[in-house]
Amino acid sequence: MKTNITKRILSLSFLFLFGISALNTEVAAEIIDRIIAIVNDDIITLSELNDAIDISLNNTEGKINLNSKDTTPEEIKRKILDRLIQDKLIDQEVKKRWIVVSESEVDNAIDNIMKDNHLTGQELVEKLKSDGVDFDKYKEQIKQELERMKLVDYQIKSKIVLNDDELRKYYTKNMDKFKVIKEIRVQHILLSIPPDADEVETNKINRKIRKLLLEIKNGEDFGKLAKIYSQGASADSDGDMGWFKRGELVPFLEKVVFNLKVGEVSGIIRSDLGLHIIKIMDGKEDGIKTFEEAKDEVKNTIYKKKVEDAFKEWIEDLKEKSFIKIKI
């Protein structure tokens, strides 16, 4: 839930993409407001699409690699328009089925987001403000996310059934995925946030680390970027912090790093020191988990795959039953 929700607090700074800014003000305003898709009784405007493109381009943890050099502007627009159409269909189903989310559920979700990100209420409000997001609007977005989650729970997740036989079969075929890592070699980038940093400076540091993570995901050498930009003690050694066993790292890092595989890169991690990116350079194994030890992990993997497959099938069924007209 946290990942989906926090995607929506990114700033909107990439409007008028694909040449719209070259138009004069009056023409641009007219084009920005035009309808580009009809989904049953709802519409999608060009301004909605441009806002969604901006969020996705700034969101380095999105599932669609919108920044790939092989992705054209038209492909980006079409992928995100498909996502907007999907969201419209889901929201329509929410209304049809009278899905309700209470104020207390929204407040609890926001409390959890603050805890997970080590933020106070005031810090969250300031973060949203720096990203150009009104807190009331943010609450409405959280409510909408929770409604969608409830619908998916009802329509899909509640119908997923797993049994021990399929869990054991998956475990037997994929035992190499359940190796126990007893020691890891960590590479680290840290961008410090001074205690007295104002809103402008904090926002600048956030943008900088998002750009670094994007470069890493697009193939830039982690060590090179660490040497140039990291403010951690390991910067001179290309960010290489050395080897660590469980219990030797500070808790906020250990929680992340031992859930990554060799070669994987974390998302952006926030701490009192600033913002971190972690890469696992190497690992030392200590045998393979037994089925009982790996059972929850196996269950989560199979469950996630079944939910994804069922969701795709459900969405395709909704599309077939709906009136959808695309006007671009």
- Quickly tell me which residue has 């696992």 as its tokens: 280
Cβ atoms of 257 and 186 within 8 Å: the answer is yes
In this prediction, residue 222 carries a pLDDT of: 95
- For domain 175-288, the CATH architecture is Roll (3.10)
Q: From first to last of the 328 residues of the chain, give the pLDDT tens digit.
A: 344 444 333 332 222 222 223 223 333 444 446 899 999 999 999 988 888 887 776 554 444 444 445 567 788 888 899 999 999 999 999 999 999 999 999 999 999 988 877 778 888 888 788 777 889 989 999 999 999 999 999 999 999 999 999 999 999 999 888 887 788 999 999 999 988 888 788 888 988 998 899 899 888 999 999 999 999 999 999 999 999 988 888 887 888 888 888 899 998 888 888 899 999 999 887 788 899 989 999 999 999 999 999 999 999 999 999 999 998 7
Max CA pair span of the chain: 67
Per DSSP, 133 falls in state -
Q: How far apart are CA 296 and CA 167, in angstroms?
A: 9
In this prediction, residue 58 carries a pLDDT of: 57
- Helices (H), strands (E): how many in the chain? 12, 7
- Measured from the Cβ of residue 122, the count of other Cβ atoms closer than 10 Å reads 8
Cβ atoms of 164 and 222 within 8 Å: the answer is no
Tokens of 326: 């695309």
Domain-wise residue ranges, the chain: 2-155, 175-288
In this prediction, residue 57 carries a pLDDT of: 64
Q: How far apart are CA 23 and CA 34, in angstroms?
A: 15
Cβ atoms of 279 and 192 within 8 Å: the answer is no
Strand order in the sheet with 240-245: 240-245, 179-192, 274-288, 269-270
In this prediction, residue 71 carries a pLDDT of: 63
CATH 1.10.4030.10 fits 2-155, yes or no: yes
In this prediction, residue 226 carries a pLDDT of: 94
In this prediction, residue 77 carries a pLDDT of: 85
Output the pTM of the full model. 0.63
Q: Which helix (H) or strand (E) holds 203?
A: helix 199-217
Alpha helix segments (H runs only) across the chain: 2-6, 25-32, 46-58, 73-96, 103-116, 121-130, 135-155, 164-173, 199-217, 222-229, 251-257, 291-321
